[in-house]
Structure 1
Amino acid sequence: MIPLIQMPFVTSHLPYTPGRVGMFARSMHQHHHMRRRQDQNENDITQRPMATWKSYARIILAHVSLIVLSVVYVGFGAFLFYQLEQPNEVEVRARNIERFNIHKRQMIDHLWEMRSSGIGQHVVEDMAVKYVDNVTRILFEAFDTHCIGAKHLRPGGEDEDYNWTYMTALFFTTTLLTTIGYGNLTPVTGRGKFLCILYALFGVPLILITVADIGKFLSENIVQLYTWYRKLREKCSKQKYSVISNKDDKNKEGDLNLDHLENYISIPIFLIVAILLSYITFGAVVLSMWEGWDFFSGFYFSFITMTTVGFGDIVPLKREYYILDLCYIIIGLSITTMCIDLVGIQYIRKMHYFGRAIKDARFALVNVGGKMVHVPDLMRYASVLQQKYGQKKTHDTIIVKGAYAPKDLSKIRFIDFGALASMESWQSLWSILTGRTQEVHV
């Protein structure tokens, strides 16, 4: 009887027969092969390329989501400000109009009674002056509430539109988050002011990022269009134009490596300025048409808005065009950001390289007397020599009959530019300072 421990050795030397052992070994081999293929498929990330529309959808989805989030944030904020500020405006306007009307009726009735009772003219005039002063005070107090104007005090003024509507609140939130802030409409309640602080704290970064994202998209498309234009002009004129490359070798200190950046096209400055001025001019013409302004006022408003200065001395008043105004403002801010991005890339890069050139100037070599000397060493030696030999002193010379003998004649041989220009010039400098006659080893 063969021991059990020797059976694998015996069966491994026997000829293969399709039995239970052979079937089991084959099934195990197939299972292992299938498991290995499954692991390879899981680890292989390039086995199935992504569809083109999916890749574009992933790129666009982030930008569209950012724009949608900004729109929702602006719209929801406008609803909150409208709910907080309009009830206060209704109450304040009604109270001040009623107060003004009551005082006006009292003034007319009292003056009429005094005139009918035969009171003297000077007494009536004094009383009229007092009533006029009170009316003036009431008007100023009413105007200070920012909820009432002269049009509301005329007959039928109660039916005038309120300052806080959803459309005006939308205009307010947009100008608030874009940091323009015209100031023609502001919250007056404590809750409204607190909401303004909290709302702008999170909304201003969101809107600025959104505007910057749109501006970056526009700048990339402008660069692409200008690239196509240059290629087309090159084909037509058959001339070669050099393309500015932003690749640069590593500096000596390893501060910057631009090898991973792509080549870029330098957009002319006049083209960027022309785009911005053309858009401002277009806005000036359109705003002049629907707001009744002259061209210069429209251009002034557009420029102040695009630069986010927002003085508020000229603001749109036609509420039916507020949506178009907001679209014009958002697109204009994006174009301004695009222009800053295109100009900044070029000039910041030039200033950066100019700064690096100044920083590396200490490594420059100057040929002095056949020797190469670093600029800082040359300036240092020149300063020392100027201090020691640049001024003539009366006691440095000895007057001898028939000859001129300088006192420091023994030191003349140390004024050797070749020695000063050598890498071991510190020894010659030490000799000059100490007055020793040690030879300089070059």
Structure 2
Amino acid sequence: MRAYGLKHPVIRKSTSNVVDTVVSTTKNAKDKDKQNLTMSKAKRVFMKLRSVLRIASAHLALYLFVIFYILTGAYIFHVFEGQHEIETHAIHRRQVQQLRHEIIEKIAATDKANEVDDLLRYFLKNISYMHISLDNYLIYNDPTQRIQMRWTYPASILFSFTILTTIGYGNLSPTIGWCKIATMIYGAIGIPLFLITIADLGRFSKTAIMTVVQAIYKKELKKPGEPQRFLREIAEVLLVIFMFIVFIAIGSVLILMWEDQLTYFDSVYFSYMSLTTIGLGDIVPRRMDFLLPTLIYLTIGLWLTTALVEQLADVFRLVHYAGRQVTDVKRITVWLGGRKLSVGGLIRTVGRRVGISDNLIGQINWDSTIAQALDGHLPPALPIFPWHFQDFLEHDPPLIDLSIDLDQADSSFYCSKPPRPKTRRDSQMSAPILNYKRTKFDEVSLFNSTTYMDA
């Protein structure tokens, strides 16, 4: 046997090749990890974008359906009520001309003042009975003039919009019997639909308001005590009221750009009566060529009105529950992801997910815990998996959620690392022991000072 050191050419070359292979393998593994990390980031961005688009598409579908509902209803009213209006004008024109010739002949045949006065009263009474305005009467006397239609398609859109928003100006109203029934059915379906849409927009506006409040405070809002929470709710209400006033002040100026027959006070009055859905009808939009900006202005204003009502409801709710203790919290139902479930069911689901048994969950006073959380006091942190308590393992072993992928779980998934036991017990939730066989290559050290070979 003859001993050679690492300086021997054959040994040095073999060692160099192995080291290069190890370095190359490590480099390739790092490059692959970087590539996988980049792909995982891109996949997370794609998944997040797809989730946002799925949620946004549902809201967008609701808004488009409301627009389609308004336009469809307006077209139906325009077709049937418009045709009925044309026929009614033709009948009124003939009746007015006939009544006019009759009155003129009777007045020309008498010279008594009281008879003339009676004839004029009879004439005006018939004109009023037919609901003919002075402008239409003057047009009826001239066969070359045509009466301006009231049930145009833009006016029908405004009529449908005022039904769904419950503004109800009253400048247009159905005259056909079955159209009156259709209006009731149209409103019974459309009013809740529009309210849901405005409430959905109000939720987004409330989120935007909270973002503004957080930007003002320059820190994330926390749940303070009851007095501070009440003051914060009041501040949010005042912020929405300020936005509402500014919106009316600016919007009234814009309305004057096309409704030039109004004064600024009339424009403010019209805005307030419309946005609060009072809708007295003494001032209504006249320029149908500017109907689209008018409807957009009213819709945004109703959005702000809904946000204001929601903020006031939060204040009233806070006042209503002020000083009350939280009781039977497990029976309280909440909405999560469009589904309703009880708080107790939510607690049990989360507890099983992290390995806490129902027995341990039932020993916690959840009324007191939730009350402390609402006051901003968090309980002390306890380990989720206390393996080092033998009694806990024997009498109340933790549950195992097989749906959890432990290889992809965060390092914070385990609150404490269990000690390695000397002897295994069935009640412990430790990882199985893997028998690893060393290969002959592992048994040979490539970096020893000497290597023995056959001479």
**How do 1:143-182 and structure 2 match up within 5 A?**
143=131, 148-155=132-139, 156=142, 158-182=145-169
Q: Report the aligned-residue RMSD.
A: 2.7
Structure 1 unmatched ranges of 5 or more: 1-47, 235-241, 249-263, 358-442
**Rg larger in structure:** 1
- The corresponding residue for 1:282 is 250
Change in Cα spacing, 1:265 to 1:136, as seen in structure 2 (3 Å) is closer
Separation in 2, partners of 1:135, 1:97: 14
After superposition, what is the alpha-carbon deviation per residue over 1:194-232, rounded to whole angstroms, capped at 9, x for unaligned? 10111111111111101111111112112112212321x
Query: Structure 1 pair 83/190, CA: closer, same or farther in 2 (3 Å)?
Result: same
3-state DSSP of counterpart to 1:60:
helix
Alignment check: 8 A CA contact 1:100 1:135 kept: no
Give the Cα separation in 2 of the matches to 1:200 and 1:181. Answer: 11
* Alignment TM-score, normalising by the size of structure 2: 0.56
Separation in 1 of the partners of 2:237 and 2:190? 32
Q: 1:296 to 1:140 in 2, by over 3 A?
A: same
Q: Number of matched residues?
A: 276
8 A Cα contact 1:219 1:339, kept in partner: no
**Contact kept in structure 1, 2:233 and 2:311, CA below 8 Å:** no
Matches within 5 A, 1:43-58: 49=44, 50-58=46-54
Aligned-partner SS, 2:202: helix
> Which residue is 2:237 aligned to?
269
Q: Which has the higher contact order (CA 8 A, sep 6+)?
A: 2
Does the 8 A contact of 1:167 with 1:322 survive in 2? Answer: yes
TM-aligned CA deviation for residue 181 of structure 1: 0.9
Aligned to 1:199: 186
Following superposition, the deviation at residue 184 of structure 1 comes to: 1.3
TM-score by length of 1: 0.57
For 2:180 and 2:289, locate their aligned partners in 1 and report how far apart those are by CA, in whole Å: 27
Cα distance in 2 for partners of 1:173, 1:246 equals 46
Cα displacement (A) at 1:97: 2.2
Task: Give the C-alpha shift of residue 273 in structure 1.
Answer: 1.1
User: Are 2:297 and 1:328 equivalent residues in the alignment?
Assistant: yes
Residue identity opposite 2:258 in structure 1: W
Q: Which of structure 1's runs of 4+ aligned residues deviate more than 3 A? A: 109-112, 155-158, 264-269, 354-357
For 1:288 and 1:142, locate their aligned partners in 2 and report how far apart those are by CA, in whole Å. 35
Structure 2 match to 1:98: 94
Does residue 183 (structure 1) correspond to residue 170 (structure 2)? The answer is: yes
Determine whether 1:308 maps to 2:277: yes
Q: Residue 61 of structure 1 is aligned with which of 57, 60, 83? A: 57
Residue in structure 1 matched with residue 120 of structure 2 by the alignment: 132
Identity of aligned residues (%): 26
In structure 1, give the amino acid aligned to 2:134.
A
**Partner in structure 1 of residue 288 of structure 2:** 319
Cα pair 1:107 1:128 within 8 Å, conserved: no
Gaps of 5+ in 2: 1-42, 227-231, 327-455
- Aligned partner of 1:45 in structure 2 is none
SS at match of 1:90: helix
Question: How far is the alpha carbon of 1:265 from its aligned partner?
Answer: 8.1
Kindly indicate whether the alpha-carbon contact (under 8 Å) linking 2:233 and 2:314 is maintained by their aligned counterparts in 1. Answer: no
The answer to whether the aligner puts 1:80 opposite 2:80 as a matched pair is no
